[in-house]
A and B are shown apart, each in its own frame.
Chain A
Amino acid sequence: MTSHAAHIKEKAANATLGFWLYLMTDIMIFASLFATFVILRDGTNGGPSGQELFNLEFVMAETFLLLVSSFTCGLAYLAIKHGQKRRTLVLLGTTITLGIGFLSLELYEFGELYLAGHDWTHSAFLSAFFTLVGTHGLHILIGIIWAIALGDYISKRGTTPDAVRKFSLFALFWHFLDLVWIFIFTVVYLLGAIS
């Protein structure tokens, strides 16, 4: 291995570890928001509970948009690793489209709640709900912007080692967001529909 190749490899390993540590701290943000939500979920202040507000079919659509986008993101990472530029861009474009679809559904849901008078000022439950789900949505928005910038980079520079490294970090981020969503889906929506 030439020293140049070794340098690239070390750079990639360091970048991955650094970004990974950021994700681990992001887990702590979500952990505290989840703890807050679970404690305050009964604090409806005489207003509606999750059972009356949430539409499970709608949330299933959101869940699958995000899950499929996580899958296509993984496939795009494999494609870029194997130097297939066209396939990478198509799969990344699919990921972005699905991500935008997810975010649109989420904003639509927020809008519906807001217009029906169930906004974050109404109760502790709704404050906690909007903060938790909104923080995740904000991450998704940042991810979409990142993905678009990444697509631009790859289309101009091709599947270089630098592009692969950048993409691997985005893939980590995007998979991480789907991991968080599993628990939002379960704790906020499914458990909300039971009680």
Chain B
Amino acid sequence: MSTQSYAHEVRQYTIGFIGAAALTILAYLSVKLEWYDATTTAIFVLVLAVMQFGVQVYYFLHLRGEAKPRWQSWSFVYSMAMMLIVVCGSLWVMYNLNYRMGMSGEQMEQRMLEENKKGF
């Protein structure tokens, strides 16, 4: 392998590292300095996390340019889909449960606390 490609690869990692660091600092500052209201900040930092995920998968894990049949890429896509189903599905179920009990998650927590105090 030539030194040219070595330098190129190091540069790729450096780009990934700087990108990840910048996104981390941005997320931290947006929370610390309260740039936006609570909901917007929450969405903002989640978007930054997904962006950083993309940056690291691309520059560190090298999930690109894989030769067919692309086992790695497709198993990755499958895992991502399963992960979203598990996480979003669980949240949906619990939200729906609280909704049908006629209260928010916080009220449910309050209610359970009171029931706990009464003892079983």
Contacts and interface: CB of A to CB of B under 8 A. Distances in A.
8 contacts: A24-B76, A28-B79, A56-B31, A71-B13, A178-B60, A179-B56, A186-B46, A186-B49
Chain B binding surface, main DSSP class: helix
For this complex, into which size category does the number of interface residues on chain B fall?
35 or more
A154 to B, nearest CB: 18
A32 interface: yes
Interface string A147-177: 0000000000000000000000000100110
A81 to B, nearest CB: 7
B21 interface: yes
Interface residues of A, number: 48
A31 B56 contact: no
Contacts of A78: 6, 9-10, 13
Interface in A53-92: 56, 60, 63-64, 67-68, 70-71, 74-75, 78, 81-82
A21 interface: yes
Contact of B28 (A27, A34, A60, A68): A60
B13 A31 contact: no
Contacts of A32: 86
B31 A70 contact: no
Interface of B: 1, 6, 9-10, 13-14, 16-17, 20-21, 24, 27-28, 31-32, 38, 41-42, 45-46, 48-49, 52-53, 56-57, 60-61, 71-72, 75-76, 78-80, 82-83, 86-87, 89-91, 94, 105-106, 109, 112-113, 116
A67 B20 contact: yes
A38 B60 CA distance: 28
Contacts of A82: 1, 6
B72 A20 contact: yes
A182 B53 contact: yes
Interface stretch (A2-10, A42-50, A93-101, A109-117): A42-50
Nearest to A175: B60
B83 A17 contact: no
